[in-house]
Amino acid sequence: MTDARTPEQKDDVSHNVTRLLRRLADDGGDRGLTLHEIRDRMDERAYGLLILLLSIPCLVPGLYGVPQVVGVIIILVAAQLLVGREEPWLPRCMLDLRARGSWLKAMADFAESKLSWIDRLSRPRLTRFADGPGEKLAAVFMILATLTIVLPMTNTIPSIALALLSVGLIQRDGLFVIAGAAVATAWLTLLGALAAGLLLGAEWATRLLPG
């Protein structure tokens, strides 16, 4: 793989999320960038930033279609983070997918208007939860949260968990990782309780049927 990053990009230690997203939008211009080009512009936080990029569109409530598609990519990327792969690998058919310039700009605008608080609050802390074994545990919660995205009308809350987990990895902020894991756990618990209630309710109802 050709490394398209400049020395300035490689040495950027601030990891300002909104600035990273704006830089991608500026680099893409009107034509946009392929996932391959986006990946090549990332630094050592490639996993976190790539999953954040994919989770932002899924924050739209009730969205159907897009979360189901990007969910497959998120699971593939998170699984590689879990097994300790140095950089994310994607099939050529996925790497050739192009994010339109208008989409990258809209995403950067959204981040600056709605997610600027992330850059104000996040910073390196509790790093044991955002690196090494903590990073792998974050990948597990990412996979679990993404599995619920494929369900209709359930994409927003797990996407919030993904965004928090991703920012935690980008900024090496263990507090954000813990918050993302807590949101994912609460959501999975709620879905499990609802599913159990439906099953128990269905079983109770069948007992009332004749014969």
Predicted confidence (pLDDT) per residue in 65-98, tens digit: 667 778 888 999 999 999 988 888 888 888 888 8
Q: Which of 210, 191, 90 is nearest to 148 (CA)?
A: 191
pLDDT at 1: 42
- The residues near 115 (Cβ < 8 Å, ≥ 6 apart) are 17, 18, 163
Element (H, E) at 33: strand 33-34
pLDDT tens digits for range 103-136: 888 888 888 887 788 888 888 999 999 988 999 9
